[in-house]
Each structure stands twice: as structure tokens, then as C-alpha cells.
């Protein structure tokens, strides 16, 4: 028996995985982040690693289709079921949405079994059975009836859809569509150790495959565990989306420069920067556990930076007074650009969060600007598609600071000589460009 067969044999019935996924989705609907909720649900059910992966798949699928499934549930239910049953029904519907993806009769039976296995839901098992079977009978009509409901069509909250539409009138549908796709796994090849071409050959020799989508970026054909990546443990390669791989080159660092990496954890951009240039980096983050990942990542890459646990805005607590030639401010944001990786984010955020985050981003810019040497450059970044967390922040700051000059950013794509302007990078999954949504804005301090 192969290792995979053995893992499968150890997996419990689908009902147990559906129940765990429903528990996690219920927690998400109550405001918990989905990865933590999945971890807790799997621990409670004592699931194996293979089952945990299956639960994650099911729960992420439910988050990606939550708008549609809620719309369906409203049509199938005469009154709202209790939260645990509602979550199980949403999970089951999300699995049934794509015809033929799973054996439908088995799915319905296992969902009903999951309800029977829970004393609080047992009495409602026939109700669940009836609604799921009705969905299968009337699928096309029920889905067609959702056409006028934007949340059901786009699987994002209505306020989010309005906001993306207002910010990007020509691209809002493409942005929302991209947010519902499963993300690729993109690697960053350590330029100090290997060329992308040579690494591709190493991947192929290991039975994996991918394509080159950026100067150091290889997109895998199939995501896999990092333990299968040749040279991962030795720092030959790291996992990083292409949009995030633009930060280090756009920061425009020359050898010997003194650089602040503000909001650095878990350190993807710190590592990339040090792979590209010999420079001194101070990496600051307010989250101690995440900061430890910066140290671990740099140790794996064989590189070093000074890591500091502090609120980067409270400069008196940590700054030694030596001005920085470059500052990267990768500010905390809504994460609206990386929803394909974190499908729960859209349901957890509130409309009012954007104003708070935008204000906080502006405050961090204000606090860090005095640390920049005259002639130095600050790169402001967020993994957001909202203008309130990108262009608006930088424009507001530049308008209020006569010593700040906007620097045009360009990106030279693989195989192309032409440079493309960079600002709001809209998420996309194309043949040669496949990246999350991001914003980069650069400011130079006048001498």
C-alpha cells in the first residue's frame, strides 16, 4: 500500500470532515478567521493531516461560494435554521454547486449523517435531507433566480462589490472573479544560489513542473508541500506571490544602503531584498510570533537582518537616530488583494474598517517619514485593491508634504523590454502574469 493509500485508508467518513468544515464555517460566520477555526475544528475531531487538508478544501470552498449558498438557503428554507445546521447546509450546498464534482447522492447522505451525528442537529436531519434533495431537483431554476442578487452572483459582500466597482469601474468584474479562483503556488528563486532556468530543471527532475512568470518567479503547475521542493530547506527557493516579489526591486536599493523594513513579518520581502543586494536591514514588527518567522526565514536563506519587536510608529522606542536610505512600509491593510488565498477575509471585514485602516496607514507614513535621509525613497505597499488603502493614502501624504516627491514606478516583465507603470496592481491569473492584488507607491525625500 502506498503512503497516499495508507493516508486515505486512515481517513474517517466524509461525514466527519463535513461536520468539521461546518464547525469552522460557523465560527467564521461568527467572526473567527477561517484558518484558526479549521485548526480548532480538526483538533476537536482528532483528524489526520490528510483529513485536515480535506476539511480545509471543503471550508475554503464554502467561503468562496458563501454568497451563492446563502441565496440558495434563503430560497430553500422557510425559516432560518439554527447556526450549526445553517453552516452544515451551506457547506453541503457549496459541495453540490458544481455538478459532478462529487457523487451527489453520497454527499447528501454524508451531510445528513453529519447532522445525525450531532445531538443538537439530529432532529433536523430530515429537513437537511429534504432541502439538499430539492436543490438537486431544482438546481438550475434556483441558481437562475439568484441573478439579481449581487452577493450571490459575485460571492463578495454587497458593500465590497460597490467599493471595487467605484474604485475600478473598468475592471471590477475581473477583480471579483479573480478573488474567487484558487491561488497558484508561486516560488521565488534565490538569485544568490540558482537561476530560474536551472531551478525549473531541478523541479522537473524532481517530478514537478512550472513556468517562469517573473525575474525570480516560478509558478508551479500544481501546488505541493514545501518539503517536496528541491533545495527549500537550504534556502534555494521560497514561496512568494509575484506581486509581493515586486517590492524588493521597486525599493531600488544599492549595495551598502541602510534600509528599514517596517511591518516586516513574516519576512518574505526582507529575505528577497537581502537575496538581491548586500545592504543593512532593520526589520521591525509588532507581532513577536510573526517576527520570529523573519529570523527563521533568514536563517534558512543564510542571510541576516537586525530584527526588532516594536510598534514601528513609536520610533522613540527603537530608532537609534541613523537615517535610512530606503524605507519599505508594507502597511497592515484589509488584505482585499489576497482574497483568493484567504477567502474568509471578505466576510470578516466591515465597510467601516477601510477608513480606520487608511487613517492608520497615513499615520505610519507620517511617523516614518522623518527617519528617511534626504534624497532617500520610501515605498508604501499594501495587499489591497481599494484606493483608500493605496493611491488615496500616498496622494494625501504627498499633498501635505512639500519635501515629498512622487516617483513613477515601472516593472520590466520577463521577455519584454517595455516597462509597465505600477500603482494599483489588479489581481489576475493569466498565462504570463499571475499575481495577487497589491498597491505600490514611491516617494522621494527632496534634498
Ligand X SMILES: C[S@@+](CC[C@H](N)C(=O)[O-])C[C@H]1O[C@@H](n2cnc3c(N)ncnc32)[C@H](O)[C@@H]1O
Q: Which residues are known catalytic residues? A: 383
What residues numbered 370-409 form the site for ligand X, per CB under 6 A?
Answer: 383
Contacting ligand X within 309-368 (CB under 6 A)? 311-313, 330, 332
Rounded CA separation 17/23 (Å): 10
Minimum distance, C-beta of residue 18 to ligand X, in the bound complex (Å): 33
**Complex with ligand X: residue 51 or 245, whichever CB lies closer:** 245
Classify 284 as helix, strand or coil.
strand
- The Cα 132–Cα 96 span in angstroms is 9
Q: Which is nearer to ligand X, 203 or 383 (CB)?
A: 383
Q: Binders of ligand X among 282-311, rule CB under 6 A?
A: 284-287, 290, 311
Minimum separation from the CB atom of position 408 to ligand X (A): 23
Nearer to ligand X, 156 or 342 (CB): 342
Q: Is 241 in the site for ligand X (CB under 6 A)?
A: no
Interface residue with ligand X among 231, 266, 323, 423 (CB under 6 A) is 266
Residues 22-81 that bind ligand X (CB under 6 A): none
Q: Which is nearer to ligand X, 42 or 409 (CB)?
A: 409
Residues 10-29 that bind ligand X (CB under 6 A): none
The residue (of 176 and 383) whose beta carbon lies closer to ligand X is 383
Nearer to ligand X, 311 or 405 (CB): 311
Q: Least distance from C-beta 284 to ligand X, angstroms? A: 6
To the nearest whole angstrom, how small is the minimum distance from the Cβ of residue 114 to ligand X? 36
Position 188 contacts ligand X (CB under 6 A): no
268 binds ligand X (CB under 6 A): yes
CB of 291 to ligand X, least distance (A): 8
* CA–CA separation, 253 and 255 (whole Å): 7
Q: Pick from 264, 274, 393, 426: which binds ligand X (CB under 6 A)?
A: 264
Report the residue closest to ligand X, judged by CB.
Answer: 263
Answer yes or no: are the C-beta atoms of 405 and 374 closer than 8 Å. no
CA distances from 307 to 248, 320, 325 (A): 17, 14, 18
Question: How many Å separate Cα 439 from the centre of its chain?
Answer: 14
Local structure of residue 231 (DSSP, 8 states): T
Interstrand relation of 410-412 and 419-421 (parallel, antiparallel or unpaired): antiparallel
Category of 267 on φ-ψ map: left (φ > 0), alpha (ψ -120 to 50) or beta? left
Region near ligand X per CB under 6 A, out of 30-38, 257-265, 274-282, 315-323: 257-265
What is residue 222's three-state secondary structure? coil
Pick 151 or 241: Cβ nearer ligand X: 241
Contact indicator for 275, 190 with CB cutoff of 8 Å: yes
Q: How many CB atoms lie within 10 A of CB 375?
A: 10
Strands (E), 346-412: 372-382, 404-407, 410-412
What gap in Å lies between CA 97 and CA 72, rounded to an integer? 10
- Asked if residues 373 and 445 have their Cβ atoms less than 8 Å apart, the reply is yes
By CB under 6 A, the count of residues binding ligand X is: 19
Q: Interacting stretch for ligand X, rule CB under 6 A, among 145-153, 167-175, 217-225, 281-289? A: 281-289
Q: Which of 267, 337, 343, 427 binds ligand X (CB under 6 A)?
A: 267
**Of 131, 120, 121, 132, nearest to 95 (Cα)?**
132
Minimum gap (Å) between residue 275 Cβ and ligand X = 13
In whole angstroms, the minimum distance from the beta carbon of 269 to ligand X comes to 4
CA-nearest of 373, 382, 383 to 326 is: 373
Confirm if 261 and 284 have CB atoms less than 8 A apart. Answer: yes
- Evaluate whether 319 touches 297 at the Cβ level (below 8 Å): no
Residues that bind ligand X (CB under 6 A): 244, 263-269, 284-287, 290, 311-313, 330, 332, 383
Amino acid at each position: 500500500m502506498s503512503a497516499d493509500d495508507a493516508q486515505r485508508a486512515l481517513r474517517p467518513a466524509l461525514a466527519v470532515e463535513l461536520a468539521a468544515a461546518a464547525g469552522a464555517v460557523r465560527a467564521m460566520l461568527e467572526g473567527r478567521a477561517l484558518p484558526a477555526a479549521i485548526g480548532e475544528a480538526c483538533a476537536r475531531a482528532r483528524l489526520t493531516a490528510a483529513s485536515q487538508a480535506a476539511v480545509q478544501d471543503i471550508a475554503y470552498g464554502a467561503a468562496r461560494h458563501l454568497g451563492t449558498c446563502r441565496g440558495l438557503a434563503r430560497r430553500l428554507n422557510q425559516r432560518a435554521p439554527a447556526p450549526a445546521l445553517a453552516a452544515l447546509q451551506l457547506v453541503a450546498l457549496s459541495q453540490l454547486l458544481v455538478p459532478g464534482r462529487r457523487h451527489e447522492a453520497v454527499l447528501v447522505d454524508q451531510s445528513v449523517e453529519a447532522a445525525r451525528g450531532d445531538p443538537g442537529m439530529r432532529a433536523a436531519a430530515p429537513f437537511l435531507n429534504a432541502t439538499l434533495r430539492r436543490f438537486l431537483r431544482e438546481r438550475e431554476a434556483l441558481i437562475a433566480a439568484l441573478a439579481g442578487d449581487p452577493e450571490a452572483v459575485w460571492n463578495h459582500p454587497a458593500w465590497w462589490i460597490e467599493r471595487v466597482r467605484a474604485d475600478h469601474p473598468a475592471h471590477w468584474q475581473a477583480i471579483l472573479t479573480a478573488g474567487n479562483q484558487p491561488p497558484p503556488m508561486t516560488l521565488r528563486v534565490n538569485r544568490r544560489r540558482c537561476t530560474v532556468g536551472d531551478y525549473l530543471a531541478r523541479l522537473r527532475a524532481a517530478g514537478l513542473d512550472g513556468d517562469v512568470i517573473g525575474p525570480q518567479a516560478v509558478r508551479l503547475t500544481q501546488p505541493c508541500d514545501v518539503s517536496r521542493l528541491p533545495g527549500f530547506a537550504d534556502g534555494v527557493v521560497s514561496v512568494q506571490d509575484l506581486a509581493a516579489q515586486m517590492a524588493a526591486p521597486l525599493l531600488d536599493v544599492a549595495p551598502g544602503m541602510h534600509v528599514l523594513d517596517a511591518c516586516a513579518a513574516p519576512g518574505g520581502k526582507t529575505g528577497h531584498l537581502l537575496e538581491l543586494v548586500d545592504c543593512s536591514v532593520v526589520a521591525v514588527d509588532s507581532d513577536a510570533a510573526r517576527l520570529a518567522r523573519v529570523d527563521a526565514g533568514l536563517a534558512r536563506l543564510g542571510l541576516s537582518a537586525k530584527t526588532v519587536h516594536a510598534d514601528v510608529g513609536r520610533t522613540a522606542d527603537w530608532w537609534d537616530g541613523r537615517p535610512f536610505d530606503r524605507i519599505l512600509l508594507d502597511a497592515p491593510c484589509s488584505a482585499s488583494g489576497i482574497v483568493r488565498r484567504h477567502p474568509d477575509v471578505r466576510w470578516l471585514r466591515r465597510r467601516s474598517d477601510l477608513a480606520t485602516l487608511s487613517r492608520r496607514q497615513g499615520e505610519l507614513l507620517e511617523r516614518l517619514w522623518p527617519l528617511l535621509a534626504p534624497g532617500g525613497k520610501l515605498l508604501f505597499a499594501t495587499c489591497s485593491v481599494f484606493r483608500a488603502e493605496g493611491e488615496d493614502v500616498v496622494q494625501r501624504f504627498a499633498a501635505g508634504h512639500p519635501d515629498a516627491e512622487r516617483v513613477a514606478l515601472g516593472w520590466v516583465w520577463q521577455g519584454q523590454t517595455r516597462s509597465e507603470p505600477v500603482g494599483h496592481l489588479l489581481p489576475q491569473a493569466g498565462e504570463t502574469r499571475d499575481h495577487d492584488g497589491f498597491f505600490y507607491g514611491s516617494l522621494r525625500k527632496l534634498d
